[in-house]
Amino acid sequence: MSKQLEVCAPERCLEVVGGDAEELRALEFFYVQTAPALSSYFDADFWTRLVLQMSHAEPVIKHAVVAVGALHRQRESVAKLAIKTVRDSAHHNDPFALTQYNRAIGHLSKRMQDNSADVEVALLASILFVCVEFLRGDTAPAVSHFQGGMSIAMSTLPACKHLTASERFQGIRHSLLPFFHRLELLATVLGNAAPWEYPVALTDTVPSEPQSLGEARDSLVHVMNLSLRLIEQVKTRRDARTVTTDDLNMQAALLRQLEAWQAAFDAFLLTTTVGDKDKNAAKVLQIHQIVTVIWLSTSTYTEESAQDAFIPEFENAVELAEAIRDNTGTKKRRETHTSSFLFDMETVSPIYYVATNCRHPLIRRRATAVLRSSLRREGLWDSLMAAAIADRVTAIEEANLSVFDGSELPREEDRVHKTQIVTVTGMAPDKPSVTFCTRPNGLDGEWKFWEEVISL
């Protein structure tokens, strides 16, 4: 960083930062509640140290932190009043939070006019702006802030490669850039394919011996991003049955890397003592690896029934998610003590994939039960919304089933091939509009599309 910043306790930082009473309340909530929640399993140093430091040195970061803290405080207060169905979506337009947000954007605009402006400030501001839009539930500006920040980050990579001894560029590479790689996962899952070349080669993604859970997580994110890029690329060719040899070769290479990651991670766990929190973190990574393997393996098949070969893997992912849920205590304790908002994708998105793509009636219902008990938003993935949509997909696909013990699975003609979710901007969308897509006349027949509003 261009400024030497001292680490301080939250109380001391509030004195240094200053501000009116409402700003200080939001800052205190961020330091005491939001930062630990956003840290989750991996990023405590980033949210509780780096962001805290820069918020009392940079007005851009201060106002962005105030906006995030204010929105998160409101979300938590609403969640505690109506934990099962958080319906108040008016808070996303809170005047105080939006004023702070706009001040941060204004400060950043002025700062970027200076050619000597620190890249770190712009990148951290982009991450916080994405966080604001996650809390507001607005996809388009969240993706826009991510893409803008990623463009800045990508422009720093040549300098990072040549100035390996520079603390400034190493800070960008090790502290900030991983956030943008994880945001790419979220953006791609939401249908926003990345237009840039991925900065890490497939052969460089998996270390032979990861030194920490964080390194293992970053490694897996690279393989997942490259896998999702291929999945997006082959969608049209899969439906037209024109998948190429190059597609299949890349698929095989990615699957080998996912297998290599699992082997390296298993070896890491055997030689490392981990606490309960780290055990949960390890389970999250294993869920991501399992779901990515299933998704990638079936991405070149036109038939939805191709996923039926992975029922044991689906069940393994659900068992891991259930263990994470059970490790956090009783449902009452989760409602009282667990934050309802996380920055990163952990279990909601992959378990939603299980609930909508595993056609074993019992396993998919277990997956949906995990979603319903999670009571959280991860990025833009709301667990209650995911559970409600999974229930509707299940009802559509099982309309013609006569038994529900797993001995009979839905017909190909009854299966939902695609869903597209559109939510109204808000803190906890309670009426998402979902477009469903099936092939009721067989794989050579016409597509059937229809839209429904799902009430949580």
Among 364, 348, 456, residue whose Cα is nearest residue 409 = 364
Dig out the tokens for 280 from the structure.
Answer: 């949960």
Is residue 208 exposed (0-12), middle (13-18) or buried (19+ Cβ within 10 Å)?
A: exposed
Q: Which residue has the tokens 């477009």?
A: 435
Dig out the tokens for 290 from the structure.
Answer: 């399992």
pLDDT at position 11 is: 52
Among 392, 378, 380, residue whose Cα is nearest residue 423 = 380
211 within some domain: no
Alpha-carbon Rg for the chain in angstroms? 22
Integer Cα distance of 155 and 103 in angstroms:
26
Successive 10-residue mean pLDDT values, the chain, 456 residues:
44 60 92 88 85 88 95 77 45 82 92 75 91 86 85 67 49 74 83 82 91 93 96 93 96 98 95 84 96 98 97 98 81 51 89 98 98 87 92 97 95 95 57 92 94 87
Integer Cα distance of 314 and 306 in angstroms:
13
Number of domain units in the chain: 1
- Provide DSSP, 49-73: IIHHHHHTT-HHHHHHHHHHHHHHH
- The DSSP bridge partners found for residue 434 are 421, 452
Among 237, 376, 355, residue whose Cα is nearest residue 291 = 355
pLDDT at position 362 is: 98
20 within some domain: yes
417 within some domain: no
pLDDT at position 196 is: 82
Among 451, 456, 416, residue whose Cα is nearest residue 435 = 451
76 within some domain: yes
pLDDT at position 6 is: 43
- The DSSP bridge partners found for residue 382 are 377
384 within some domain: no
433 within some domain: no
- Which run of H or of E encompasses 416? strand 416-422
Dig out the tokens for 374 from the structure.
Answer: 């999670």
Which residues have a Cβ under 8 Å from the Cβ of 171 and sit 6 or more positions away? 1, 120
Residue 407, CA atoms < 13 Å, CB-side half-sphere = 3
224 within some domain: no
139 within some domain: yes
Prediction pTM value: 0.88
Dig out the tokens for 354 from the structure.
Answer: 């299980």
Domain encompassing residue 55: 1-184
- For the chain, the farthest-separated pair of C-alpha atoms sits apart, in whole angstroms, at 68
What are the start-end ranges of the E strands in 181-222?
none
